């Protein structure tokens, strides 16, 4: 695993705002690295820094071992061997599809062959002579990918490449583009605010907030072992429940939970990440007398699962899968919360919970109230779908389990 691109301590400020704030990131050969972050988190700036369209204020960027930005080096974009697929495609409006793809192949004697090869790869051989304004969004997208691939760049950067397409087309193109890039053996970084995209497309994914990268790991690791409470609630739906850790076990109001990863070494109070799929609900016919201290206050169908929101008498709320017994439960019913046998992570309390500064109306609702052992609720917009904070807009499957 050699690093195709290596960023060390890269920073870029716009006036008082640190768009990129000390980022270390490694892109490995042949991999697709997705960068997930809310809008305004600096992910586009990150790409523009790698491409050379912006210069970093601090840090270094290396591509294939060559320093392209940083002290003593400032390679202009045209000599970086970096390809980019822009959010709005940015096809040259005065050139045909084939001429667009051939643009970066000026000095290549075999460019006709290469163009034909790429048009085949993206399935547009029949449209070589079309002008860009006649193309559909999906076709323009493929041309943009082919154009970026044509000069065989070391790195391909994709800036929210699917955000301008409608939902059905987006899902199809995601798969297509991933296949195309894999067939070309490209090393790629894709930035997105859509967690489905980041989870499904990435060999590895990075979570970026306020100019910082919080975690880089395989998508299932980011989901299963989030590095901090923000990542836990940003990627998927998570309840953060107070617990007491000892010997790899956290004791919570839901009972003992086995811990994995670094959390096994914790001792003392912690926030335990409990996903809805870690829980299911059972009827409590006799109400509180039956241990049914929870009451159903909300219900959402995610397309694959029914999620129910329950509240305890002390005000704590949880999202839980309905489970086999829970299908006929109604809002207002008293229930018991049953913990499935799972392993999860916990974060020692006593430090502030990081969260994004709300950049827009959909930003995270972080109410880090801590009572005496009561739950801290970091996620969820009560009236909206039980989506991870800040990314609910494009979520199609918030109840995903990995």
Partner 1 sequence: MTAAAGRLGAGALRGRVVAPRPPLRLVVVGLAIGLLAITPLAYLVVRALDVEAGALELLARPRTLSVVGGTVLLAGLVAFGTVAIGAPLAWLTTRTDLPGRRAWATLAVVPLAIPSYVTAFAFVAAFGPRGALQGMLEPFGVTRLPEVYGLAGAALVLTLAAYPYVLLATRAALLRSDPSIEEAARLLGDRRRDVLRRVTVPILLPAIAAGGLLAVLYALSDFGAVSLLQFDSLARAIHVQYRASFDRSLAAVLALLLVGLALAVALVEGRIRRRAAAFAVGGLRRPAATVALGPWRWPAIAFCASVVALALVVPVATVTVWLVRGLAQGAQIDVVVEDAVATFGVAAAAALAAVVLAVPVAVLAARHPSTVSRTVGRLVDIGYGLPGIVVALAVVFLATRVVPVLYQTLILLVLVYAIRFLPLASGTLRGTLVGLGTRFEEAGRTLGDSPAVAFRRVTVPLLRPALVAGGALVFLTVAKELPMALLLGPIGFTTLATEIWDAASAGFYARAAGPAAILLVLSAATVALLVRAEDRSR
Q: Which residues bind partner 1 (CB under 8 A)?
A: 51-53, 76-80, 82-84, 86-94, 103-104, 106, 131-133, 147-148, 150-151, 153, 164
Q: Considering the complex, what minimum distance in angstroms separates the CB of residue 314 from partner 1? A: 46
Q: Considering the complex, what minimum distance in angstroms separates the CB of residue 103 from partner 1? A: 5
Q: Considering the complex, what minimum distance in angstroms separates the CB of residue 185 from partner 1? A: 19
Q: In whole angstroms, give the CA distance from residue 401 to residue 397.
A: 10
Q: Considering the complex, what minimum distance in angstroms separates the CB of residue 90 from partner 1? A: 4
Q: In whole angstroms, give the CA distance from residue 160 to residue 38.
A: 12
- Is residue 279 within 8 A of residue 270, CB to CB? The reply is no
Return the number of the residue (131 or 312) whose C-beta is nearest partner 1. Answer: 131
Q: Considering the complex, what minimum distance in angstroms separates the CB of residue 79 from partner 1? A: 8
Q: Considering the complex, what minimum distance in angstroms separates the CB of residue 364 from partner 1? A: 24
Return the number of the residue (46 or 284) whose C-beta is nearest partner 1. Answer: 46
Return the number of the residue (211 or 292) whose C-beta is nearest partner 1. Answer: 211
């Amino acid at each position: 695993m050699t690093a195709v691109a290596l960023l060390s301590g890269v920073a870029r400020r716009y006036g008082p705002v640190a768009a990129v704030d000390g980022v270390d990131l490694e892109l490995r050969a042949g991999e697709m690295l997705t960068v997930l972050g809310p809008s305004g988190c600096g992910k586009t700036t990150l790409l523009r820094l790698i491409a050379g369209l912006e210069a970093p204020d601090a840090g270094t960027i290396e591509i294939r071992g060559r320093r392209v930005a940083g002290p003593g080096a400032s390679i202009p974009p045209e000599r970086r061997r970096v390809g980019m697929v822009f959010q709005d495609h940015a096809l040259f409006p005065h050139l045909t599809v084939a001429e667009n793809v051939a643009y970066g192949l000026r000095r290549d004697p075999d460019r006709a062959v290469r163009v034909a090869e790429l048009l085949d790869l993206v399935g547009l051989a029949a449209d070589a002579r079309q002008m860009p304004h006649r193309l559909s969004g999906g076709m323009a997208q493929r041309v943009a990918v082919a154009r970026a691939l044509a000069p065989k760049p070391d790195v391909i950067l994709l800036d929210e490449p699917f955000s301008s397409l409608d939902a059905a087309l987006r899902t199809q193109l995601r798969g297509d583009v991933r296949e195309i890039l894999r067939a070309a053996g490209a090393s790629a970084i894709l930035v997105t605010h859509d967690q489905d995209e980041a989870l499904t497309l990435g060999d590895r994914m990075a979570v970026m907030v306020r100019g910082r990268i919080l975690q880089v790991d395989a998508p299932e690791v980011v989901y299963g072992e989030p590095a901090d409470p923000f990542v836990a609630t940003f990627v998927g739906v998570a309840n953060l429940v107070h617990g007491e850790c000892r010997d790899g076990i956290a004791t919570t109001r839901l009972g003992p939970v086995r811990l994995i990863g670094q959390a096994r070494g914790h001792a003392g109070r912690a926030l335990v990440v409990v996903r809805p799929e870690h829980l299911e609900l059972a009827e409590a016919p006799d109400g509180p007398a039956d241990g049914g201290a929870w009451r159903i206050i909300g219900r959402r169908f995610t397309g694959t699962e029914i999620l129910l929101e329950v509240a305890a008498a002390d005000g704590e709320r949880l999202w839980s899968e309905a489970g086999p017994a829970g299908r006929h439960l109604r809002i207002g019913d008293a229930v018991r919360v049953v913990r499935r046998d799972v392993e999860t992570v916990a974060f020692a309390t006593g430090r502030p919970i990081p969260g994004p500064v709300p950049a827009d109306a959909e930003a995270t609702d972080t109410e880090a109230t801590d009572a005496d052992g009561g739950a801290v609720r970091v996620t969820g917009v009560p009236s909206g779908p039980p989506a991870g904070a800040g990314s609910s807009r494009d979520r199609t499957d918030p109840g995903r389990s990995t």
